[in-house]
Amino acid sequence: MSGETPGSIARERVSELEPLRPLSDAGLSDAGAWALLDAAPDGVVLVDEGGRILLVNRQTEELFGYDRGDLLGRSVDELLPERLRQIHRADRTRYRVEPHTRSMGAGMALLGRRADGGEFPVEISLSPITTDSGLRIVAAIRDVTARTELEAEARGVYEMFDAIGDGVFILDAETMHFTHVNQGAVDQVGYTRDELLTMTMLHIAPELDEARLRALLEPFESEESSSTTFTTTHRHRDGTDLPVEITLEVRRDDDGSPRSYITIVRDITERLEADRRLRQVETDLRVVEDRERIARDLHDNTIQRLFAAGLMLQAALSDADEEVAMRVGAVIDDLDDTIRELRSVIFGLHPRTRGLRSEILRIVSDERRVLGFEPQVRFNGLIDTVSDAIATQLTATLREALSNVTRHAHASSVQVVLECDDNVVLRVLDNGDGIHENAIEGNGTRNLTARASMLGGQCQRVARPNGGTMLEWMVPNTH
C-alpha cells in the first residue's frame, strides 16, 4: 500500500460505487446513499480480492471501536482474533474462486475483535460485486452477543430439563404435538427426540383417545384450572406398559388462551409395588392378630377347661368300678392327647420369627412325629443373641441327638434344655435304655464332639441316675 493515503483510498472507494448510480434515479444523492449506508443496523465492510478494507459504515465503527479512517486500507483480517486470521485467509482464497452470496462460516462460532482486544460473537453474510476495478466483496456483520447469550441460557434450561429424572413433555396447545422433550422422556418411552417431536400424547398413552384428552384439557381452555395430576399408562417403544403419574400445567398467551402444555411424567412402578407390599403386610398383620387371638383363646380357655375336665375324671376314678375306670382312663388319655395336639396347633398359630429359639422349637416339632411323643423344651438366658456360628452347629447337634434317641434309646420322654450365659449349653435328656456297658462310640457321637471342639467346647454323654442318658454339648459364648 506504498504511496496510498486515506484521501486516495476514499476517492477509490467512491469510484467503486459507480455501479450503484441507479440509486440516484430514486432521488438519492451521493450524500443520501452514504447516509443510508451509515443507517444500516449491521456493520458493512467492502473489501477487495486481497482482503483490503475499502469502505466501512458507521455501525462497523461502533462494533469494532475504530474510526473508519483507521480501518481504510487495512486488512480485514485485523477485525478477527489473531488465532483465526490464518484460517480466514484460506477461506478468502477459496471464496475468490467461486464467489456467491452466502453466510460465512455456516455452523461455526465466528468471533470479531475490537480495537481494545475484546472479542464478541458475530454473524457474517458475504456478497460479491463485480466492478471495473475487479471483484469486490461486501460483508454484512451482525453482533449476535444477545442472541448467543439467550441461546446459552436456553441450552442451560434444556440441560436442566435433561437432568430431571422424570420425563418432561412440552406440547403445542393447538396441534397437541410435542415441541420439546427431555432425556427422561426419551428414556421412559424409548423413542428418539426427533421421533417424539412428530408425535402427540395419543401415540404413547394407550388409555387416552382424542375425546378423553380434549375433555382433560377443557378446564384449561375455560381458565378453570392451571394444573392437574392424574395417572395413566405410557407404552414403551418395545410394547411394554409403564404406569405413570402426570402433572400437567398450562402456559398461556397474553389473552389468556393456552399456548402450550407442560407434562411432568413420573414412573410410579416402584410406588405401586410398595403400595402392594404395604397392603400385603396389612393383610398379614390382620392374619397374625387373628391367629394370636385364636391361640390365646385356645390356651387360656379351651386347654384349661380340658385340663380341669381331666382332673375331675381322675378324681372320680376312686369311686368307679373296674370297667368304668378303664373307660374313664381311656377318656383321660384322649384328653391328654388332645391337649398335646392343641399345644402344637397353638405353636403353629404363633408367627414364626427368625432366631435360635424359634429354630429349636421347629426342630423339636419336626422330631415329635418320629419320636411318637412331644419333647419338653426349656430355655434359660438370651437365646436369640447366640452367634450364627454357634447356632449353626447347635441346631445340627440337636437334630443328631434327637435322631439318636429315636434309633437307640427306646425312650418315652425327652427334655431339651438350652442355657445361654458365659457358655452356651445344650442338654438332651431321655428316659430310655441308657448307655450300654460295652457300647462302641458311633459316627454320630464323634460328629457332635467335633462340632463342639471346633468352637472350643466339649460334648459328653453320661448315664442318668434313674435311667436314661444325658447328652451335654457346651461351647464358650464368644463366637
3-state secondary structure 92-131: HHHHHHCCCCEECCCCCCEEEECCCCCEEEEEEEEEEEEE
CA 76 to chain centre: 55
Residue 190 Rama label (left phi>0; alpha psi -120 to 50; beta): left
Q: Quick one: CA torsion of 96, 98, 103, 107, rounded to 10 degrees?
A: -100
Contact (Cβ atoms closer than 8 angstroms) between residue 59 and residue 43: yes
CATH number of 6-143: 3.30.450.20
- What burial letters (b/e) apply to 223-257, b meaning 16+ CB within 10 Å? eeeeeeeeebebbeeeeeebbbbbebebeeeeeee
Q: Are strands 414-420 and 376-381 parallel, antiparallel or unpaired?
A: parallel
Give the model's pLDDT for residue 181. 92
DSSP state of 374: P
Distance of CA 388 to the CA centre of its chain: 34
> Nearest-CA neighbor of 57 among 70, 80, 74, 39?
39
Question: How far is Cα 241 from Cα 205, in angstroms, rounded to an integer?
Answer: 9
Q: At the top level of CATH, which class does the domain 149-267 belong to?
A: alpha beta
Distance from C-alpha of 362 to C-alpha of 351, rounded to nearest angstrom: 12
Q: How far is CA 205 from the centre of its chain?
A: 22
pLDDT per position in the chain (479 positions), as tens?
Answer: 444 544 454 445 445 444 444 434 444 456 777 788 888 889 999 998 888 999 899 999 999 999 888 889 899 988 999 888 888 788 777 777 777 766 655 445 789 999 999 999 998 888 888 888 888 888 899 999 888 888 888 788 777 878 788 999 999 988 999 999 999 999 999 999 999 999 999 999 999 888 888 888 888 887 777 888 999 999 999 999 999 999 999 998 888 888 899 999 999 999 998 888 888 888 877 877 777 777 777 766 777 777 777 778 777 777 777 787 788 788 877 877 777 666 656 655 655 555 788 888 888 888 888 888 888 998 888 887 888 899 999 999 998 898 888 888 788 899 999 998 899 999 999 998 877 655 545 555 788 899 999 999 999 989 888 888 999 999 999 75
d(CA 176, CA 182): 17
Cα angle for residues 361, 345, 330 (degrees, 5° grid): 110
Question: Residue 198 — φ and ψ, nearest 5°?
Answer: -105, 5
pLDDT for 14 equals: 45
Q: Tell me which CATH homologous superfamily contains domain 353-479.
A: Histidine kinase-like ATPase, C-terminal domain (3.30.565.10)
State residue 236's pLDDT score. Answer: 94
* pLDDT score of 307: 74
**pLDDT confidence of residue 10:** 44
For helices 322-349 and 269-297, the axis angle rounded to 10 degrees is: 160
The C-alpha cell 455501525 sits at 59
Contact 445, 461 (CB under 8 A): yes
Quote the pLDDT of residue 171. Answer: 92
User: Measuring CA to CA, how many Å separate 469 from each of 28, 203, 309, 361, 403?
Assistant: 130, 79, 35, 21, 14
Question: Cα-flanking dihedrals φ and ψ of residue 36, to 5°?
Answer: -65, -40
Length of the chain (residues): 479
**CA pair distance 234, 161, nearest whole angstrom:** 19
Q: How far apart are CA 418 and CA 455, in angstroms?
A: 17
- Please report how the helices 322-349 and 356-371 are oriented relative to each other, as an axis angle in degrees rounded to 10: 140
- Give the integer Cα–Cα distance in Å for 200 and 175: 8
User: Dihedral angle at the C-alpha atoms of 205, 209, 215, 220, nearest 10 degrees?
Assistant: 40
Q: Which of 178, 189, 188, 157 is nearest to 263 (CA)?
A: 178
